Structure 1
Amino acid sequence: MFPLFSVLVSLFIISLSQSDSNLISVAAASEQQTLLNIKSKLSDPLSALASWRNDSINFCKWRGVTCDDSNPPHVTALDLTGLGLAGSLSPDIAHLTLIEKINLQNNSLCAEMPVELGRINGLKHLDLSYNQFYGLVPNSFYNISSLAYLNLYYNNLTGALPPNLGQRFPQIQILDVGFNHFDGDLINLITSLANCSALHTIDFFFNNLSGSLPNTIGNLSTKLQKLVLGYNNISGSIPREIGNLVNLTELDLSGNYFEGILPSTIGSLSNLGRMQISYNILSGPIPDSIGNLTKLYFLTLMENELNGTIPASLGNCTRLQILKICSNRLEGAMPRELFSLTSMIKLDASHNQLVGSIPDVSSMSSLNYLSLRGNNLTGTIPDSLGFCPSLEELFLGDNLIQGSIPETFKNMKEITSLGLSHNNLSGRIPEFFGTLHTLQYLNLAFNNLVGEVPTGGIFSNASAVSLLGNQGLCGGDSELHLPSCAFQVPEASKKSSKMVVIICAIITIAVLICFCLIVSILYKLRRNKRIAKLHTPVPFSKDKYKKVAYSDIAKATDGFSSNNLVGSGSFGSVYKGMLDNQAVAVKVFDLEQHGALRSFNSECESLRNIRHKNLVGVITLCSSLDFKGNEFKSLVFKYIPNGSLDEWIHPKSSGKKLSFSDGINIAMDVASGLSYLHHHCATPMVHCDIKPGNILIETDMTALVSDFGLARFLAASHSTSAEVSTTLVGLKGTIGYIPPGKLRNFKYHNFSNCNNFHTSHIIVVVFAIFTAEYALGSTISTQGDVYSFGIVLLEMLTGKRPTDAMFKDGSNIHAYVSSAFPEKIIEILDPSMFGEMNMDMEKCIIQLVHVGLACSKEAPKDRMRMEDVAAELSKIKQIYLGSI
């Protein structure tokens, strides 16, 4: 019996072993299938998940997968950072019941967060940052009490953060939900987080949180090192209790509505390295206790209403590298202690009410950027500035500085931008400026400089130099359009000698007549060559675009019937028609017009190189002879029945009305298209004629930039002498949208009194048209398009054309808007574009206006890059969408 019992026991044990083995196999297969289900919801253009295959037995060795040592193994971590993945996050992820870490940072996942995430009770680390998740965070998600690390930064998530967030995430250490659209009241939220004893980071940057900062801020964990609340809707004062956060290393309260004083307790944050409290309404002095922050390396307090003097105690902050206190009401002299900091890299104290002289800067060996413009500084420019070996940008304009330009400036081997305008500088312009090869921008306008202007170097680039308002200057490069030094007359005889004026006028007229004759001759020569160019292959000849015959175009437009005429421009007309059962717009070039042939070739070359959803695309072209044997050229585009932006901004009887939502989208579309042209084309391109009439509106209100007849590739923007001579007959662009260069400064000339009529005035007026940035023959830059875009944006918001009769005597739309910005901006906006406003909408409007003003600044270097414009508009659009 015993042998039989023994056999039965053995068989039972074997069966149990086989059963366990089967269960293990099933469990492993389940987790493997879960991972495959997750992969099925993802787009993997880089084949980063190639190892995730059905025939691969050990899923623990798949890329990004980490397992424990159990049998069967369980997935404990999933790290797919930066793999270019798109698609959505599968709800099946909840089947990985023992997973503790999920990291999907820096991909392109675009979906709602799955509700099933809330079922992973042991999840400790979740990073979905830098994706495109949207919608409401599911409420079940806030039940994961084990969560210690949460990063949702830079998504499109909405909804209110729970006021009891701290109770729901008691173990939280890193809480980063910046750059989303979360709203809610900050007061209870901060209070609840006081329960989180391990809290290390709070980042609510760029959301829609409101309310005030409560006194309970001081009850947060003393382990807190990072507190970022910038760019929300937080109001009230900064509580004194903030000084309790003694281990704080980063504090950002910028872009809110904080008012009152900056509390002296801020000096208790002895570990603080980075503090940003710009763009608020803070008043009162900067507390002396700020000098206690000896680890501080980055401090920005700009764009507030701070007053009093700059505390000398800042000299104790021996690690300070960046200091921005511009655009406040600070007064008094600048402390010498501040200018003794050897660590300082950037110092901006511009647009305050500072007085006295500029202190010695010989100790600031690391200084890279210094701006003190827009104050009441006196004295001379210190020689020691010339011995700052790293200095690249120096701006001292709009002060009361006297004396000559120091000879030590010849030592500035790294200088790129130098602004000394609107001071009382005297003497000659130093010759060595022409030898500073790094110098790209020089503004010496409106001083008392005299003598002959140097040549060569930066002085050979008229768009990079401003010398207006220095009546004693002469000579220099011809592009500067200064009077010849040979025509200079003694100061004593200027008031009585009108003969000089008459002689100059005669000479100028003679030069103009010769100029016109030369242009006329060149025009005839070019016209004679036109027939020869007829058989030259146009840029599309090797592309996919199939040319059509003249007869096809004539038939499509019903013989170019006036009933089909859509509009006309400088180089021809546009007709609507039907071609191959498709509604088209046919741009017919009037080749009798000078420049039309070049415009055709330019537009062909441009259109063959661009592919973007916000740039108009060409269907085909026609380069042929008409029925009379004359040369004929046209381009065929998709017909856009919704018209141009000009018709929407200035409707007549069409019933068109532009909403604020449409305006944001159109601005975003145009910026996106221009950003592509400037920064992402194989060969960067400048459009040169951005205006509402060249922005077409699709039926879904998508904006398309059109008319590339004046576009230029940057690689070929420096014209040859022949090209310059044939293009000096007009401006690149349209009046009102052309970058002003020095043209706007003619308001400073007074021609009513002949006794004060300077010899150079006649020459200045004659050549005024050629001193704008887009004066033909000048260097073309992407900053010209940025200026035009800024003007279009201001026109769209105000409903005022830049050529409106109200802009006279030197005024313009930029100055008009700037004078009302920001307090009275609502009063000058187009009322038909805005309905009932809330605080979020007003904030968006102010930010939009700010972009328009920043783009349309006079100096090209002060304007934004179009890539940055597009990014800024994207943020504004997100804020607006979160408010409706």
Structure 2
Amino acid sequence: MKQYSFGLLLKHDPCMATLHGHLGCCMGVDFNNKFRASFPGWLLVNNADLEILKLRNNFLFGEFQLPPFAMTNAVMVDVSGNQIHDLPENIGKILPHMEYLDLSGNAFEQDLLPSIGDMKILQVLDLSYNNFSREIPKELTVGCNDLRVLMLSGNKLHGQIFPMLYNLTQLRVLQLRNNYFSGNLSNVKAKGRVLGNLALLDIGYNFMTGNIGSWIGNVTYLDILVMRNNYLEGQFQCEGISRSVYYLDLSHNLLSAPLPSCPRLQHLYLQGNKYSVSISEAFLNTSQLLVLNLRDNNLSGSIPGIIGLLTSLKVLLLSQNLLSGLIPEELCELKQISMMDLSLNSFSGSIPPCFQGIRFGKIEPRYLDLDISHEKVSNEWDYTTYFRNGTLKKDYVLHSTAEQSVTNVEVDFLTKHRSNTYKGGILNFMSGLDLSCNKLSGRIPYEVGNLAWIHALNLSYNQLTGPIPKSFSNLTQIESLDLSHNMLSGEIPSLLINLYFLEVFSVAYNNLSGRIPDMKAQFGIFDRSSYEGNQFLCGQPLNQNCSIVSPHPLIKFVDQSKEKWYGIDPVLFSVTFSTTYIIFFLTSIIILYLNPYWRRRWFNFFENRIYYPAYDFISSIVHKACAKLCW
């Protein structure tokens, strides 16, 4: 095969200059300049020896017109990202020597054609994000037995998956997400070269059922396993998967205890399952972990202190569980954390001041990139694939040295009063801490205001007291700050108006008083919902006249600089009071048991109180009357 330098052809070759006119004698065409026209079928007719056709990411429409003769030299066709429809039924006869075929992101609405099976040396096939329907034709899996990459995501395909793929012994990348595939994974077989060479397996968003059987352990080169949003059940043990797996997504299934212990994983997604156990130390025995997502399960107990050893962790999501106890200070050892979500649990106690040592947004670039594999597809074609916006995209390159796949992480995080999904490179810039909907008490530590790079901070729906720290004026990058539904007191610091990136701000339903900061800069966009529920706040936008409203609430805390009882942690006070009472009671019982003299005195005292209260009362009145008469 001839070698081409596409960069030079774009500048000097007449085939690259325009698609207007009937050009001939072209061996390679590469044009992706947002060209709007019907598919140039004439280009193929006039260039019978064409080897490479790249017309991706234009606005081509109409039928995918092929010439009436076989183009035996054509090895690569990429028309992805257009609006082409109607694939010819004899495409395999016309392009018999095709090695790379990419028709993704078009408007094809038809059955998957058996004729593709006539491309005997096809190595890369991408038909994703169209509307192909029916089952995968048997002719494709039997005829294309040299296939290395198969991408069929985002279609309407259905039926069984794996029995049809057993002939594809060279397959390295298999992505079938967002279809209607079904079947029981317990019956899958993977032996020897049958599925054994897979590096990436993505069958998410389908209707797969059953247990994830032991067959997955025979996929010896597996790096990325994605089975999210199916109906898988039972247990999953990491002992059964390849040691090379470092990206595991089993979220939104019906999996149950125990939590899998996977020492070599870097990304673990188990949210939305039915795990009803505590987080064990064995589960956290994975020092390479970058992302841990256990949201929306039924996990209970406390967070083990061993979590502080996960020093590489970037994203920790534990919300919507039944976790309780104190927030462990060992979390402060996770210096690289950018996003932490502990919301919707039952954590109690105070917020650890040491959180100021976490970087929250001050992170190294490209920290979430994943190299999937490094292997050539064939002697002359190499390719690079990417996960972008949840979709496996590709950029095939001639004459590179290795295949490299990069996966960008997807994270759901509540900010600006809504749950947002952050994907890809944006995660390098997003940071946040969410402790909302717990039972946290005490003051907000002054040190939290030192998280200068954080973008979202949510402490709402707790039992926090004391003033809003003035140090919050140091949160210069913050975009969302929610302190609502607590018991905060004092005034809103006026310096907060210098937070120029603030888009969402709420201190509603607290015990705040005084004047609301001037409606300047970003504070000019906040309406009354940001301040309501504070009876003694005044000013705009509450329409409360500050000359009428008392500057301090009638029911207020005394000067907090004086260490009074109300400054004591109520949980600590309750525990110590109860302990003291129990000790006093038990001591009294022991003394009465050991000393019969005091026991008799105690019983006589109570007997007199019970049987002679009226006598004592009358006797006291008589004595007082006699005393007056004597005087």
For residue 372 of structure 1, report the CA deviation from its aligned partner: 0.4
Partner deviation per Cα, 1:561-581 (whole Å, 9 max, x = no partner): xxxxxxxxxxxxxxxxxxxxx
* Bigger share in strand: 2
Aligned match of 2:212: 213
Aligned match of 1:350: 343
For residue 290 of structure 1, report the CA deviation from its aligned partner: 4.1
Partner deviation per Cα, 1:218-242 (whole Å, 9 max, x = no partner): x232310010000011122223534
1:52 equivalenced with 2:43 (yes/no): yes
- Give the Cα separation in 2 of the matches to 1:168 and 1:53: 32
Matches within 5 A, 1:535-614: none
Aligned match of 1:469: 533
* Aligned CA distance change for structure 1 residues 363 and 488 (closer, same or farther; 3 Å): closer
* Aligned CA distance change for structure 1 residues 488 and 45 (closer, same or farther; 3 Å): same
Partner deviation per Cα, 1:792-851 (whole Å, 9 max, x = no partner): xxxxxxxxxxxxxxxxxxxxxxxxxxxxxxxxxxxxxxxxxxxxxxxxxxxxxxxxxxxx
Whether the 8 Å contact between 1:324 and 1:348 is mirrored in structure 2 is: yes
1:415 equivalenced with 2:478 (yes/no): yes
* Aligned CA distance change for structure 1 residues 361 and 464 (closer, same or farther; 3 Å): farther
Aligned partner (choices 257, 278, 300) of residue 254 of structure 2: 257
Aligned match of 1:698: none
* Aligned CA distance change for structure 1 residues 52 and 326 (closer, same or farther; 3 Å): same
For residue 303 of structure 1, report the CA deviation from its aligned partner: 0.4
1:120 equivalenced with 2:183 (yes/no): no
Aligned partner (choices 218, 225, 239) of residue 223 of structure 2: 225
1:403 equivalenced with 2:466 (yes/no): yes
* Aligned CA distance change for structure 1 residues 239 and 365 (closer, same or farther; 3 Å): closer
1:451 equivalenced with 2:514 (yes/no): yes
For residue 179 of structure 1, report the CA deviation from its aligned partner: 1.1
- Give the Cα separation in 1 of the matches to 2:177 and 2:479: 35
Whether the 8 Å contact between 2:49 and 2:71 is mirrored in structure 1 is: no
Matched AA of 1:420: L
Partner deviation per Cα, 1:401-425 (whole Å, 9 max, x = no partner): 1221111101111111111112121
* Aligned CA distance change for structure 1 residues 191 and 443 (closer, same or farther; 3 Å): same
Whether the 8 Å contact between 2:513 and 2:552 is mirrored in structure 1 is: no
SS state of the match for residue 335, structure 2? coil
SS state of the match for residue 301, structure 2? coil
* Aligned CA distance change for structure 1 residues 121 and 491 (closer, same or farther; 3 Å): closer
Aligned match of 1:319: 312
Whether the 8 Å contact between 1:76 and 1:101 is mirrored in structure 2 is: no
Structure 2 segments unaligned to the other structure (5+ residues): 1-25, 27-34, 57-69, 362-430, 557-631
- Give the Cα separation in 1 of the matches to 2:348 and 2:301: 12
Partner deviation per Cα, 1:427-471 (whole Å, 9 max, x = no partner): 111111223222122111221112222222344334375222222
Whether the 8 Å contact between 1:51 and 1:62 is mirrored in structure 2 is: no
Whether the 8 Å contact between 1:213 and 1:239 is mirrored in structure 2 is: no
* Aligned CA distance change for structure 1 residues 83 and 467 (closer, same or farther; 3 Å): closer
* Aligned CA distance change for structure 1 residues 257 and 190 (closer, same or farther; 3 Å): farther
SS state of the match for residue 394, structure 1? strand
Structure 1 segments unaligned to the other structure (5+ residues): 1-34, 36-43, 66-71, 495-884
* Aligned CA distance change for structure 1 residues 119 and 50 (closer, same or farther; 3 Å): closer
Whether the 8 Å contact between 1:459 and 1:465 is mirrored in structure 2 is: no
For residue 109 of structure 1, report the CA deviation from its aligned partner: 2.5
- Give the Cα separation in 1 of the matches to 2:320 and 2:223: 29
TM-score, normalised relative to structure 2: 0.64
Matched AA of 1:213: I
RMSD: 3.0
SS state of the match for residue 355, structure 2? coil
* Aligned CA distance change for structure 1 residues 462 and 200 (closer, same or farther; 3 Å): closer
TM-score, normalised relative to structure 1: 0.47
Whether the 8 Å contact between 1:289 and 1:313 is mirrored in structure 2 is: no
Whether the 8 Å contact between 2:55 and 2:80 is mirrored in structure 1 is: no
Matched AA of 1:185: N
Aligned match of 1:78: 76
* Bigger share in helix: 1
Whether the 8 Å contact between 1:97 and 1:120 is mirrored in structure 2 is: yes
1:431 equivalenced with 2:431 (yes/no): no
For residue 326 of structure 1, report the CA deviation from its aligned partner: 0.3
* Aligned CA distance change for structure 1 residues 357 and 190 (closer, same or farther; 3 Å): farther
* Aligned CA distance change for structure 1 residues 229 and 57 (closer, same or farther; 3 Å): closer
In the alignment of these two chains, the number of paired residues is 439
SS state of the match for residue 210, structure 1? strand
Aligned partner (choices 230, 244, 248) of residue 245 of structure 2: 248
Partner deviation per Cα, 1:332-363 (whole Å, 9 max, x = no partner): 22222222322211111100111222122122
Whether the 8 Å contact between 1:365 and 1:389 is mirrored in structure 2 is: no
Matches within 5 A, 1:194-209: 195-209=194-208
* Aligned CA distance change for structure 1 residues 78 and 358 (closer, same or farther; 3 Å): same
For residue 108 of structure 1, report the CA deviation from its aligned partner: 2.9
Matches within 5 A, 1:379-394: 379-394=442-457
Aligned match of 2:543: 481
Matches within 5 A, 1:27-426: 45-46=36-37, 49=40, 52-56=43-47, 58-60=49-51, 62-63=53-54, 74-75=72-73, 77-95=75-93, 96-143=95-142, 144-162=144-162, 164-165=163-164, 167-189=166-188, 191=190, 195-217=194-216, 219-239=217-237, 241-242=239-240, 244-263=241-260, 265-266=261-262, 268=263, 270=264, 272-359=265-352, 360-367=354-361, 368-426=431-489
For residue 191 of structure 1, report the CA deviation from its aligned partner: 4.8
Whether the 8 Å contact between 1:318 and 1:342 is mirrored in structure 2 is: yes
* Aligned CA distance change for structure 1 residues 491 and 235 (closer, same or farther; 3 Å): closer
Whether the 8 Å contact between 1:87 and 1:108 is mirrored in structure 2 is: yes
Whether the 8 Å contact between 2:481 and 2:504 is mirrored in structure 1 is: yes
